[in-house]
Amino acid sequence: MLARVTTEAALQFRQITRSFGAVRALRGVTFSVAAGEAHALVGENGAGKSTLLKILAGIVQPDAGEILWHGRRLHLDSPREALERGIGMVYQEMLSFPNLSVTGNIFAGRELTRGGRLRNAEMRERTTALLAELHLAVSPDAPADSLSAAHRQLLQVARALAFECEILVLDEPTTSLTDAETDHLFAVLERLKARGVTLLYVSHRIPEVFRLCDRITVLRDGAYVDTFERRSVSPERIVRAMVGRELPPRAVLTKEQRHEDQPPLLSIDGLGRRPWFNNVSLQVHAGEIVGLFGLVGSGRSELLETIFGLYRAEAGRVRVAGEPVNASSPREAARAGIALVPEERQRQGLLFNLTIRHNLVLPDRTIRGDLVVHTARERREAQDLVETWRIKTAGVEVPPDALSGGNQQKIVVAKWLATSPRVLLLDEPTKGVDVGAKFEIHEIIRQEASRGAACLVASSDLPEVLAIADRIVVMREGRIQGQLAGADATEEAVMQLATHEIAS
Amino acid sequence: MRRLWMVAVIAGLALSACSGAKPANAPQRLRFAVMPKALDIPVFNYAKIGAERQAKEYGDVDILWNAPASADQLKQKEILESFITQRVDGIAISSLNGDFLTDTINKAIDSGIPVVTWDSDAPKSKRYAFYGVDDLASGRIMGEEAVRLLNGKGKVAIITSVGATNLERRLQGMKEGLSKAPGIQIVEIFDIKEDTVRCAELIAAGTNRYPDLSAWLSTGGWPVFTRNALAVVDPAKTKVISFDTIQPALDLLREGKVNVLIGQKYFGWGSEAVKLLYDIKHGKMPASPIIDSGVDVVTKENVDEYAAKWKKMESGS
Amino acid sequence: MKKLWQFREFSTVVILLLEILFFTWWLWPEGNRTHPFLNTGNGLLILKYSSIYGIAAVGAAIVIISGGIDLAPGAVMALAGVVGAQLFVVRGWPLAPAMLTGVLVGLASGLFTAALIVLARLPPFIATLGVMGITRGIAFIITEGQYFDVSSHLLGGWRPFGLPADWMAPLILVVLALGFQVLMTTFQWGRAVFSVGGNETAALFSGIAVNRIKTSVYVLSGILAAISGVVLVLVQGQGKADLATGYELDIIASSVVGGASLAGGRGSVVGAVLGTLIFGVLRNALPQIPGATFYDRLIVGLVVIVIVVVDQLLLKRRA
């Protein structure tokens, strides 16, 4: 049942402009969201979507322009105000309080009180009702850190819904969700649509956008491009509007280019570390890109971290170019030519108290064991990297906090590539990254492979794995379930391996 | 942001230029530094009152009252040194360790700052005068009182703080006074390091260890500065003779927990020292290097008379 | 390239200058008497006593920048001073070896602290709290409550390296402060310290030997505190167990006022030294105002809060 889509605009952005130092994040963006519709906002990283959402949430103030809410000017000074106006935000980054219960999380900062005392019973009741409505099978008293990442994401949605909201704004909500969980979420969103709730949906995943939304607005480089009716536009058209250019077809490497005639560059035999993974054996040849696919809990990240020396394996061996590598720290692994682009770029990949230059040259200088910092030389190298990888930044002498997610990710990748690793490990390299940057990063990986590196890409994004990998290794619950290559590597086959027990 | 800083700097410079617009612009006020042993010894507060009152009387004297927060010889030396470089007009000090401060006191005098000592002397220094009790004599009085109360027989324990010259001399006097009675035995001398809390602890420990103790003697007022230090002492069995008459000492005396108190001239420490410095600055040297302030021997008999006199001095006579 | 005023140290210098200007104005003498505050003797005194905090503050600042914290400097100062004094006064060792042994005590303390933090994985607050108690306790055991009179054993007019004794502390401070400032800003090791403090996880992932860095900063802090303790004993003439009680908080406050963030990853050695000067000036000038004796703790507390608040505001503005 389609919702009543009126032409009356519920939310209007008018000439919104915002700069951060020299970076112009938004340039006179104007568009409107109709009441009761599901409206998608898409764009590359650096297009300005996050900034626009921050302005809507009251976290950042626009330099110029205004937001109209039902025709009246909206002046938001804080997230609390946004909430009180009925704007519910569901964020990408996991903002839950691990030490609080589900109820506590939902009401954190907005607890129900009577004369200063908490109305625990009432909050619990409302939480239970909310969980039922969302079909979330968790207890309202469960501590948040006992929930899976996917459930924590749904918790964010619940948090936004706990209070009457007229418009629900979702920022990449399905990043950590499986297909099943995404379906669940979409079912909830459809129900909300039917109730008349307006949805503003920001995502890089074009299929999802087409599934849920009525209209699609595209931003590019901080400016408004166009708004399309979903029914009358194709996904390719959208991508073209986002990227501004045609994307090159994906190259397929020949066997020779994949160096399969030579011994493998990375060789893992019987590697195990309980309870994360057990008896893992795989090989990657020079020039090969192996995709490591598995759902949440399959042990992919732990495997990569162990190879990189963050943890000691309990059993098994790792060999690089035939030489055994027994790395007991990332430092040793890096010296042996292994590089890891970690999953959480903010927590594991970037130093926000140092400049972009420092971040970019750090692994290289640390491995080389230099004593002194040569500023001029480093600055040149950093600027080269920024140019080569098209990292959008005002300069290299600023900290990376003003950069968009995709550009931050590029820094994490670039800094390791500068060390010319023999083995490149990547954990969810395009998580939270837009389509354009995603393709760029995939190109980067292919270039490294063609230079002779062995690449192992762990990802729960099936389309990505299918697109980039020469061979797909599937993991489930800490074990290798199987390998697929060439024509055998279909979505169904991979998912089958990832979700079902293989009779051995 | 830089503009803000530049403005601030200019403002500061402007301020320093108009020094003439300063508040207290009286002609040639004298700055006297009065230094007790430490800021946390309550008995010295009366010296402060005395000093400030004397300064008010003179009208052109400012009192700079400073000392380490608690007894610390090094810190007292540090503060003394800073008063020298800050070129005060006179210093009156009660030293934690007179010998340790001798060189510094001499440095002050050599640079033209007169120094007098009070309560606790630095005898080897070039100080102009010392105002305080004759510690030796006072100690002797206490010893003699003990002999009298105990009829010449019994075990006594002594409380003191090692280091300060005046306390050493009181101790010596006590021993002399006690030695007149061969039947009196000093079982132990406790060092409480000017810490009232430690004093209470040691009295409790001592009472435990020596159940048949006949008397406690103290070279300083720590046992009587609080109510509970003497709580464990049984007045029927054990007599208490202490220095200092600061409350609640007088109340304890009335209650019978204490038998004899030796009172110093607390206000006099401040007022007399300031007088000495003032006279020196105006060319009048002290009559003698040692000025005996005299002591008050207070017992149950004369306590009320003493208390009345105290009230008068505190309110301002 | 950063402009001069963008350096955090610049603000600290400005605060120091304003402070000096303020007290110069407030304490202006009448007539043509010498200025009680603004004269060379007083200035040297301030430098002398601030340097003692300052030397230890260099080490403390580096630890704070690395994301840790050290509560033991005061106690280590005392133990180092006591050991040095005892060897010199009681055992009759020559001065240099005695004091050097004191410094080695600091090295040992630093190693022990590092072991607690890196091997036993104790939080730095707890580990250094424990070390503070242990070192202070050992100092008391060695001295049994007495003190060693070092000044009487030093020849009168003692001139270390041919300079007046009063200049020793400031000179050592300047050399150490400049040396470590250079080390922190132009050497890889210094950058590694900033990295560990900024995001220990990311530093580890970038290949930095995090444990080695942590060990080095605590060892340094121990050594510098010991140097400070030895200097204190020589300058003041007494070695006793309750030296430098409570100094650790002033030292940490100096680092914070100088730009260090207790979360780690920010700060500078020079800033911490300037911070000790700011407090040194305060401690010297306040007692000259009649009636201000009891206010110095209050004012120190207020100064710290105001500076930290302004710091936070400026940081937010930049983001």
pLDDT in tens, C206-232: 889 999 999 999 999 999 999 999 999
Strand partners, A459: A293
Q: Which residues contact residue B237 at a Cβ distance below 8 angstroms, ignoring those fewer than 6 apart? A: B212, B213, B214
CA proximity to B74, closest of C148, A218, A45, A50: C148
Average pLDDT across chain A, whole number? 83
Query: Which residues of chain C make contact with A334, given a CB cutoff of 8 A?
Result: 207
Residue pLDDT, tens place only, A249-273? 445 555 555 556 678 888 898 888 8
Q: Subunits touching A (CB < 8 Å, at least 3 pairs)?
A: C
Cα end-to-end distance, chain B, whole Å: 58
Letter string b/e over residues A108-135, b meaning 16 or more CB atoms within 10 A of that residue's CB: eeeeeeeeeeeeeeebbebbeebbeebe
Confidence of residue B20 (pLDDT cuts 50, 70, 90): very low
Residue pLDDT, tens place only, A412-460? 999 999 999 999 999 999 887 877 788 888 889 988 888 889 999 998 8
CA proximity to A358, closest of A418, A405, A415: A415
Residue pLDDT, tens place only, A340-387? 999 889 889 999 999 999 999 999 999 888 889 999 999 999 999 999
Report how far residue A378's alpha carbon sits from residue A391's, in angstroms, rounded to the nearest whole number. Answer: 17
The pLDDT of A196-206, averaged and rounded, is: 84
Which of A78, A308, A344, A351 would you mutate first to test chain C, the one with the most C CBs within 10 A?
Answer: A351
Task: Sort A305 into a burial class: Cβ within 10 Å, 0-12 / 13-18 / 19+.
Answer: buried
Residue pLDDT, tens place only, B224-283? 888 888 888 888 889 999 998 888 888 888 888 899 999 888 889 999 999 999 999 998
Structure tokens at A257: 């280019």
Structure tokens at C127: 């580990």
The pLDDT of B11-15, averaged and rounded, is: 52
pLDDT of residue C117: 96
pLDDT of residue A501: 55
pLDDT of residue A245: 54
Residue with tokens 């005299």: B294
Structure tokens at B311: 């009230």
Which of A51, A354, A419, A426 would you mutate first to test chain C, the one with the most C CBs within 10 A?
Answer: A354
Structure tokens at B76: 């007292």
DSSP state at residue C207: T
- The length of chain C, given as a count of residues: 319
The pLDDT of C122-147, averaged and rounded, is: 91
Report how far residue B90's alpha carbon sits from residue B30's, in angstroms, rounded to the nearest whole number. Answer: 8
Q: Which of C187, C208, C265 sits opposite A331 (nearest CB)?
A: C208
pLDDT of residue A97: 72
- Contact status, residue A363 vs residue A334, Cβ threshold 8 Å: yes
Residue pLDDT, tens place only, A177-191? 777 778 888 888 888
The pLDDT of C32-39, averaged and rounded, is: 80
- Contact status, residue B68 vs residue B76, Cβ threshold 8 Å: yes
Average pLDDT across chain C, whole number? 88
Cα end-to-end distance, chain C, whole Å: 19
Q: Which C positions 260-279 lie with beta carbon below 8 A of chain A?
A: 264-266
Q: Which B positions 114-143 lie with beta carbon below 8 A of chain C?
A: none
Confidence check: pLDDT of B80 > 90: yes
Structure tokens at A116: 């200063």
- Contact status, residue A48 vs residue A242, Cβ threshold 8 Å: no
**Residue of higher predicted confidence among A175 and A281:** A281
Report how far residue A1's alpha carbon sits from residue A46's, in angstroms, rounded to the nearest whole number. Answer: 36
Is the CB of residue C207 less than 8 Å away from at least one CB of chain A?
A: yes
Is the CB of residue B197 less than 8 Å away from at least one CB of chain C?
A: no
Structure tokens at C256: 């914070």
Could you tell me the CA-to-CA distances from C212 to A123, A329, C55, C142, C176 in Å, in that order?
49, 12, 23, 32, 22
Q: Subunits touching C (CB < 8 Å, at least 3 pairs)?
A: A, B
CA proximity to A438, closest of A44, A25, A41, A91: A44
Q: 0.90 cut: is pTM over it?
A: no
- Contact status, residue A429 vs residue A263, Cβ threshold 8 Å: no
CB contact under 8 A, A349 and C208: no
CA proximity to C205, closest of A51, A349, B164: A349
Confidence check: pLDDT of A409 > 70: yes
Helix axes C95-114, C124-143, angle to 10 degrees: 150
Average pLDDT across chain B, whole number? 86
CB contact under 8 A, C21 and B13: yes
Confidence of residue A143 (pLDDT cuts 50, 70, 90): confident
Structure tokens at B60: 């052109």
Confidence of residue B312 (pLDDT cuts 50, 70, 90): confident
Strand partners, B297: B262
Instruction: Report CA Rg, chain B.
Output: 22
Confidence check: pLDDT of B16 > 50: no
A333 Cα to chain C: minimum distance (Å): 8
**Residue C47 is which amino acid?**
L
A369 Cα to chain C: minimum distance (Å): 8
C84 Cα to chain B: minimum distance (Å): 17
**Residue B279 is which amino acid?**
D
Q: State percent of chain C over pLDDT 90.
A: 50
Residue pLDDT, tens place only, B138-155? 999 999 999 998 888 899
Q: If residue A107 lies in a helix (H) or strand (E), which one and from where to where?
A: helix A102-107
- Chain C residue at shortest CA distance from B76: C236
CB contact under 8 A, A373 and C191: yes
CB contact under 8 A, B29 and C30: yes
Report how far residue B66's alpha carbon sits from residue B131's, in angstroms, rounded to the nearest whole number. Answer: 19
Task: Sort C184 into a burial class: Cβ within 10 Å, 0-12 / 13-18 / 19+.
Answer: buried
Residue pLDDT, tens place only, A74-117? 888 777 777 778 888 887 645 667 777 888 888 877 777 777 77
Report how far residue A275's alpha carbon sits from residue A306's, in angstroms, rounded to the nearest whole number. Answer: 13
- Contact status, residue B39 vs residue B69, Cβ threshold 8 Å: yes
3-state secondary structure chain B: CHHHHHHHHHHHHHHHHCHHHCCCCCCCCEEEEEECCCCCCHHHHHHHHHHHHHHHHHCCEEEEECCCCCCCHHHHHHHHHHHHHCCCCEEEECCCCHHHHHHHHHHHHHCCCCEEEECCCCCCCCCCEEEECCHHHHHHHHHHHHHHHHCCCEEEEEEECCCCHHHHHHHHHHHHHHHCCCCEEEEEEEECCCCHHHHHHHHHHHHHHCCCCCEEEECCCHHHCCCCCCCCCCCCCCEEEEECCCCCHHHHHHHCCCCEEEECCHHHHHHHHHHHHHHHHCCCCCCCCEEECCCEEECCCCHHHHHHHHHHHHHCC
The pLDDT of C34-54, averaged and rounded, is: 88
pLDDT of residue C110: 96
Query: Which residues of chain B make contact with C44, given a CB cutoff of 8 A?
Result: 85
Please give the order of strands across the beta sheet that includes B184-191.
B184-191, B154-160, B215-218, B239-243, B260-263, B296-298
DSSP state at residue A402: G
pLDDT of residue A247: 47
pLDDT of residue A3: 39
Highest-confidence segment of A23-37, A162-176, C127-141, C236-250: C127-141
Identify whether B114 is preceded by a cis peptide bond (ω within 30 of 0): no
Helix axes C73-89, C247-257, angle to 10 degrees: 130
Report how far residue C177's alpha carbon sits from residue B177's, in angstroms, rounded to the nearest whole number. Answer: 59
